[in-house]
Amino acid sequence: MESPATTPSIQSSSSAGRLPEKEKDAQSDRKTPTKGRKRHRRSGENWTRSGCLTCKKRRKKCDETRPRLGRPCEGYGTIWTEPLNPFTNVFQKQTSRKRRKLSSASAEGHGVVQVEAGSKDVISSPYTPGHVADYAFPTTPGSDVTGSDAGTENGTPYPEIDFILPNLFGPPSHLSSPEMYYLQYHTERGSKLLTNLEMEENPLRAIIIPRALSSPLVMDALCAVSAIHMSNWALHRDAGSQTAAMQYYGRTISRLRKVLSDPDAISSCIVTPEELVLTIAWLCKYEVVRGSVKQWRGHLDALQNVITSCGGFSGLDPELAEFISGLITYMHNMSKVTSRKYNSVMVPYGAHSGARKLDTYLGYTEDLVAICARISNLSFLSSNPHALVLEISAITNALETWTPTSRTYIMPRGITPSILSRLELVALSFRYAAFIYLHSALERMVSQHPHVLSIPTLTNLVPITKVDAIQRCLALIETAPIDDHCEYSAFAFPLFMAGCESEDAAQQAFVLQCLDQLEQNFGIGNVGRAKGLLRRVWGWEVHGDRHEEGMETVRRHWLDILEDAGWELIMA
């Protein structure tokens, strides 16, 4: 009787004795993941903190150009070697940290606003969904802007963004909503209006956008230009876009200073020379669009200094070098017309001695803007009348023999005869503007050195009078329908020169009307500055003579008014 009773007790005790061993094994198994989370070296490669995101996830030493395990390594040495494919996603997404959820009552009571992690580095957009729906791009004939306001009903803050960019570049998931908004604006509007040549391969798209998608520095500069350009439209001026432009501009300057203060920034591939060059060039564009009369000078000088420190244009991508060279040539020569504070040495391009591609900014005016720069240097020859006469003769001969076909250009793809005719019309108006500027420069020199120079002697060297040059220049512009064709935006300089020297009220009214049209069509701030200066020039100033005659009415030279105002106006 006792054995049957004792047997089960023995079995139960033995089974009970085996259970702790299983539990011990289970506990040891549960401890294994805890040990696995500790950092240790995997066989084959040394663990490192440096490297690309992919190699960090693999806990492998960054091999850059030799991907292993079937996973691509973007590396640090090759990521900026050439423009990335827009579909390439090289940015790590920032995910929001898990936080304790607050009840709606507590959130309302304390005014808590939940923000995603990492959002402090994103500039808040000045637009709410309602603003975006109400905003309408200025209507243009033949515009390819499409879309509707139907997207305002969804939850996205920028409903009109997604109908062009994905078709061109794929969904750029690393961009914030404001960046997408201003990139969309640049794609649709800015890239068409911020150039002087309409063509199929627009460098403001082909060069700027891919690099902006792969470089936060270039993206900030692009957003700054887009925001300030948007704020210039007469019907859509608001403080929101101006605030966004200043924020992006400030962030671009801050990042540039940080990069330029780091001697190892380029060698460690934090930023490339092409990024620096393109960013500073776009800041030059920002100042022109904003209508700056000071800051553009510092950016233009910095741009040339950076290119020089990088070994010249030969160290850049050929297409980028050609684009930046045209921009520098245009701005550098135009800056000499209105400002005597200039850098006399321009970085030479010198890519080839043969035919050059028709530039998006210069067009047919390449030789003419160079002649205007030569005219600005005549003041340095005022003490040498013989050399002055020789230089005036050379300038007038160059203007007389110039034709739009004096140079042979390589035509970009998509150039039509109508585009070439517009370029020719603009160039001819530049030619007469150069004659006007020549007369103006000579008159100012004689007024400053009346005992050395004689105005009849000098002006007789010019084959066309100032009055005739003004009439012919304005007659050419009058034949052009100043619409939204970007070639006509270059009329700003001829109109400005004609307005500065014209004394006819009808001509002055026509100049002001055309400048108003240019400002409305293209939204360039320096046109508004030009109008402000012309109003000062036309307002004849009265000075006390301190003699018996009393007060004398004189007209001051427009360059003197610029110097008194402290303006460094640029008509590029």
Task: Tell me the whole-structure pTM to 2 decimals.
Answer: 0.69
Is 39:47 a contact under the CB 8 Å cutoff?
Answer: yes
Spell out the domain ranges in the chain. 352-540+555-571
Between 132 and 359, the more confident residue is: 359
Q: What is the pLDDT of residues 425-453, one digit of tens each?
A: 999 999 999 999 999 999 998 888 877 77
pLDDT of 115 reads: 31
pLDDT of 544 reads: 41
Between 11 and 418, the more confident residue is: 418
Sign of CA dihedral 16, 17, 20, 24: negative
Smallest CA-to-CA distance from 324 within 289, 278, 363 is with 278
Alpha carbons 177 and 166: distance in angstroms, whole number: 14
**Exposed / middle / buried, residue 480 (Cβ in 10 Å: 0-12, 13-18, 19+):** middle
Q: Check pLDDT > 50 for residue 230.
A: yes
Segment 95-114 mean pLDDT: 39
What mean pLDDT, rounded, does the chain reach?
Answer: 73
Between 556 and 251, the more confident residue is: 251
Q: Which of 5-9, 115-119, 482-486 has the lowest mean pLDDT?
A: 115-119
Alpha carbons 51 and 71: distance in angstroms, whole number: 14
Percent of the chain topping pLDDT 90: 39
pLDDT of 314 reads: 84
pLDDT of 200 reads: 83
Q: What is the pLDDT of residues 371-401, one digit of tens each?
A: 999 999 998 888 888 999 999 999 999 999 9
Q: Check pLDDT > 70 for residue 411.
A: yes
Question: What is the rounded end-to-end Cα distance, in angstroms, of the chain?
Answer: 115
pLDDT-derived band of residue 417, with 50, 70 and 90 as boundaries? very high
Q: What is the pLDDT of residues 292-322, one digit of tens each?
A: 888 888 899 899 988 988 888 888 888 999 9
pLDDT-derived band of residue 161, with 50, 70 and 90 as boundaries? very low
Smallest CA-to-CA distance from 476 within 462, 463, 495 is with 495
pLDDT of 364 reads: 94
Alpha carbons 197 and 191: distance in angstroms, whole number: 11
Alpha carbons 46 and 62: distance in angstroms, whole number: 10
